[in-house]
Amino acid sequence: MQHYLKGAFALAAIALTVGLANAQDLAPLNSDSEPDRMDWSELDAKFGALPAPAAGTKVAGVSKTLTNEYWRSLGDGYKNVADKLGVGFVYQAAANEGDQIGQLSIAEDLINQGFNAMLLSPQTDANLVPAVEKAKAAGIAVLNVNDAVIPSATNYVGNVQKDNGVRVAQWFIDNKADGGQVAVIEGQPGVYAAGQRTAGFTETINANGKFSVVASVPANWSREEAFNAASTILQQYPDLIGFYANNDGMALGVVEAVKAAGRADKVAVFGTDGVSDAYAAIRAGDLTGTVDSFPVLTGEIAMEVALRLAAGQKLPRVVATPQALITKDNVETYATTDMAALRATLTAK
């Protein structure tokens, strides 16, 4: 463990140095507030239909891990578009969400294989910076796709991370008029999405004045760690009325803790991502809700953006993808594997 931590810290230091040295003319990216942005639904209207990829076009995707359904679904979206257009596609990921050095090694190996574009979903904001700069130097179009944010990224596709927490906080404000004690189960420290989701929730619910965030602790995207953290919080705060977890895996761990404590009828639990197990838990009445960021659709949009970049189109720095708060009241509206139907539903809102 000590060796791993030293390696991770060294990697972060190198990444920061490389990023600062190579991004002098590009402000560090904040994907939620970057002014040079557009909505995913405007791509065709503003830039025309997706150009036909040149013969032999190849795209590589590098994800956090494939142990989490969200990242598998994102890859499915990439593949949908690649297969439809006859684009070569490779999708690889680290063994787990803590293998920062392993993920960097994968990315750097792929850079040497002649890809026209790369879709990168880094484990932290820093760990893939060296790969980004190497790919740019090789003339490869690079796209940062959810949910950590590479400061030197030229282009990014993903949802507004802060809005995930805002939407959940607003549900509590709208549905728990008397207020009360709530808690946050955070993701991995140092990851942009985790910080923004937590900030969106806490800032919004604190501004209401009727709620108190009594605990906010990281569980590193782990269902088991979330279960343990939630169990402790439930013991400490017997009047707690709700949890917000930064992803669905952790939220399902919280659900287990709430049920084990015999408080399922008193404590609301929300997650983030919209994985199939979250939908099933909402239908079963175990999970109160999730903020779905539609990973398959996000993957399709990201592949389309990457191909536009590879074709030489100059797009806004951020292309924002959709999200929606899912509860028992609307779960069937969004529970579809038909991406054309989902696109129509989302653009009609």
Write down the CATH number for the domain with range 161-292. Answer: 3.40.50.2300
Residue 25's pLDDT is: 73
Tens digit of pLDDT for each residue in 295-319?
Answer: 999 999 999 999 999 999 999 999 9
Asked if residue 320 has pLDDT above 70, the reply is yes
| CA gap 217, 188 in Å, rounded | 10
Q: Is residue 287 within 8 Å of residue 252, measured between CB atoms? A: yes
Reply yes or no on domain 2-158+295-321 having CATH 3.40.50.2300: yes
Tens digit of pLDDT for each residue in 334-345?
Answer: 999 999 999 999
| CA gap 182, 173 in Å, rounded | 12
Give the percent of the chain with pLDDT over 90.
91
Asked if residue 24 has pLDDT above 60, the reply is no
Asked if residue 71 has pLDDT above 50, the reply is yes
31's tokens: 């994907």
Asked if residue 15 has pLDDT above 50, the reply is no
Tens digit of pLDDT for each residue in 166-192?
Answer: 999 999 999 999 999 999 999 999 899
Residue carrying structure tokens 């287990």: 256
Q: CB atoms < 10 A from the CB of 90, how many? A: 15
User: Per-domain residue ranges for the chain?
Assistant: 2-158+295-321, 161-292
Q: What are phi and psi of 37, to 5 degrees?
A: -145, 165
CA angle 230, 253, 251 (to 5 degrees): 90
Q: Is residue 118 within 8 Å of residue 57, measured between CB atoms? A: no
| CA gap 158, 301 in Å, rounded | 9
Q: CB atoms < 10 A from the CB of 84, how many? A: 10
Residue 105's pLDDT is: 98
Asked if residue 218 has pLDDT above 70, the reply is yes
Q: Is residue 62 within 8 Å of residue 103, measured between CB atoms? A: yes
Tens digit of pLDDT for each residue in 88-139?
Answer: 999 999 999 999 999 999 999 999 999 999 999 999 999 999 999 999 999 9
124's tokens: 């932290």
Cis peptide, bond prior to residue 286, ω within 30 of zero: no
144 conformational bin, left if phi > 0, alpha if psi -120 to 50, beta if neither: beta
Q: Is residue 148 within 8 Å of residue 121, measured between CB atoms? A: yes
- What's the distance, CA 246 to chain centroid? 9
Q: Order of strands across the sheet with 324-327? A: 211-218, 180-186, 240-245, 268-273, 289-292, 324-327
Pairing mode, strands 268-273 and 240-245: parallel
Residue 2's pLDDT is: 37
Q: Is residue 244 within 8 Å of residue 169, measured between CB atoms? A: yes
Terminal C-alpha separation, the chain: 48
Q: Is residue 222 within 8 Å of residue 249, measured between CB atoms? A: yes
Number of Cα atoms under 13 Å in the Cβ half of residue 346: 24
**Mean pLDDT confidence for 197-213:** 98
Asked if residue 325 has pLDDT above 80, the reply is yes
Are domains 2-158+295-321 and 161-292 of this chain identical in fold?
Answer: yes
Q: Is residue 243 within 8 Å of residue 185, measured between CB atoms? A: yes
Q: Band of the pLDDT at 1, cuts 50, 70, 90?
A: very low
Q: Band of the pLDDT at 26, cuts 50, 70, 90?
A: confident
For the ranges 3-12, 20-29, 72-81, the one whose mean pLDDT is highest = 72-81
